[in-house]
Amino acid sequence: MSKPTNNIKKGTPFNVDVFKRVFALAKPYKAKLYTAIILTISMAFLGPIRPVLIQHTIDHFIATNNPIGLVKMSVLLFAILLVQAGMQVWSTVLTNYLGQHVIKDLRLQVYDYLTGLRLLFYDKTPVGTLVTRTVSDIETIADVFSEGLINISGDLLQIVFILIFMFSLNWKLSLVSLAVLPFLLYAGYVFKEKVRTSFEDVRTQVARLNTFVQEHIQGMQIVQLFGRQQQEFNKFEEINTEHKVANIKSVMYYSVFFPVVEIISAVSTALIVWYASRGIMNGEASIGLITSFIMLINLFFRPIRQLADRFNTMQMGMVAAERIFKLIDEQENTEQTGHHTIPKVQGNIVFDNVWFGYNPNEYVLKGIDINLKHGKNVALVGATGAGKSSIINLLSRFYEIQKGSITVDGYPLQTLNIQELRKQIAVVLQDVFLFSGTVMDNIKLNNQTISDAYVMEVAQKLGAHDFIMRLPDGYQQNVYERGATLSVGQRQLISFVRAMVTNPAVLVLDEATSSVDNETEEVIQNAIATMMDGRTSIVIAHRLSTIQHADEIIVLEKGTIVERGNHQNLLNIDGYYKKLYELQFAPAHHH
């Protein structure tokens, strides 16, 4: 954790490391960045030139009645205006282009990072927060480019140029008109501080709102089943109100700040007029000088009004960037992959005295030994919470074990390339997750190497082809989010086809056919038999039919193995398995 980006103190006015990293993102678009900077400098210089030229025009051509000179000057002024306008357009387009490209790259980086995280991270982090990070936080970073740094530098440069012009024209008048500056700086400082805290508040409330809505829309069934609509609505109202309050606060600060700047700038103009009118009477100042000063003072206040605002935009971008970098710098949650690849896994799997807990020191598996030879199958049996699913999670290396070792074909699990290993282990879970998209997309999961014909061939083998063809659009049928339009059995069959098209070496089945009707059940049982044929397989068994033919049955209780053997041996022992069998399977046997 020694990265500088992580020692971020809350409320640090500015973090140089974060700043450098944000700008490093613009590296691929260097030319555009430099062009934008050059344009900004040129515009800062052109702004104050106009009042000076106008002064010249009033004093030398209007006062002396010189129409030709007046026309020439007017044309020049108009030309400068046009150039300025052109530059403004070009600069706006460039900075926005930069912003959008940078956030596109960053979003890809964040998403790529999220797909490589351990499941442990997702167990602890609300989905809504991650959505906020990937979507709205990154959005704010775009503003750093489109309205942030380049424009702030332009504004500051313009102020410097204006001051140079003012003092070179008349230093006394300059000092008089700038007498209000201390008040202005104080007002700007107070505003900047207040708005920053209110912005941070707004971001936090947005994340809370996202998390709440996301969770409750996903769990709407529960909300309605338990008639919790009113309570959940009240809770939402509370979060929503806090979000409103946070936003109103920031609006308040704006509504006070801008009028204050207006008043200060009006006082400054009044001072010029008061002081200069005496000067004109004494013949020390010309009308042109006063006109140009009033214009310069107006130009001087315009960027100041925007500066505070732009600093905040910048600040928000930095706060967001800080959060995102903090997220993607966390290495402890990323999956540590090994470098060894087994071209073709044989499927000899050994668990040797494995201890594991989702939280350290709270073991859910204690001293597990399993020795599975190529082509054999083992069934795991036990009550809920006995540790059956944990064994499956460990084999896919979703979690790291605390003690013992797991080897595949003799190689320790942690030395193997995770991606490659998972390609050769097919895991079918009892809660089938389907993405919105067609049946075909859900089977292939964007794997371009699998042909449609092969998918159909596998579906035919597993007995899923017929029901898919009966759907209105067959394989192109859109299964809406999470496959809500299909029955449990149909979803299960699709997940079988999904598992088998990769032709895995090892099959892991969390076989839950409890909620499936009899007709589909038969298809599913046949499919399971076909899938297990000639493959090493581990089955979490809920049904007798799968278990009876298993090479070894392992009975788990509270994370330890209490009995092991085949169906017949275990019935003879007259132990846990037999009790379980009579409780759970005997009634099923009489169907």
Residue type, 346: Q
Strand pairing class (552-557; 560-565): antiparallel
Angstrom CA distances, 5 to 25, 134, 266, 318, stand at: 15, 19, 44, 12
Taking only the tens of pLDDT, the chain with its 591 residues reads: 333 333 333 444 567 888 888 888 888 999 999 999 999 999 998 989 989 999 999 988 888 888 898 999 999 999 999 999 999 999 999 989 988 998 899 899 889 988 888 877 887 777 777 887 888 888 888 888 877 778 888 888 999 999 999 999 888 889 988 888 898 888 888 887 887 788 788 878 888 888 888 888 888 888 888 888 888 899 999 999 999 998 898 888 888 888 888 899 899 989 888 888 877 767 777 888 888 999 999 888 888 877 777 877 887 788 888 888 888 887 777 777 778 888 888 888 999 999 998 887 788 999 899 998 888 889 998 877 778 888 888 888 888 888 899 999 889 988 988 888 888 888 888 778 888 888 898 889 888 888 989 999 999 988 888 888 988 888 898 887 666 678 888 888 888 899 888 888 899 888 666 566 677 777 888 888 888 888 888 988 776 666 777 889 998 888 888 888 888 888 888 888 888 778 766 554 444
Question: How many C-beta atoms lie closer than 10 Å to residue 115's C-beta?
Answer: 8
Burial class of residue 373, CB neighbours in 10 A (0-12, 13-18, 19+): middle
pTM exceeding the 0.85 threshold for the entire prediction: no
Distance CA 564, CA 560 (A): 11
**Residues paired with 356 in a beta bridge:** 365
All domains in the chain, ordered by first residue: 13-329 (1.20.1560.10), 349-589 (3.40.50.300)
User: Please, how many CA atoms are within 13 Å of residue 411, restricted to the half-sphere of its CB?
Assistant: 19
Contact 383, 577 (CB under 8 A): no
Burial class of residue 589, CB neighbours in 10 A (0-12, 13-18, 19+): exposed
Minimal CA–CA distance to 175: which of 109, 99, 268? 268
Distance CA 416, CA 518 (A): 41
Distance CA 561, CA 387 (A): 10
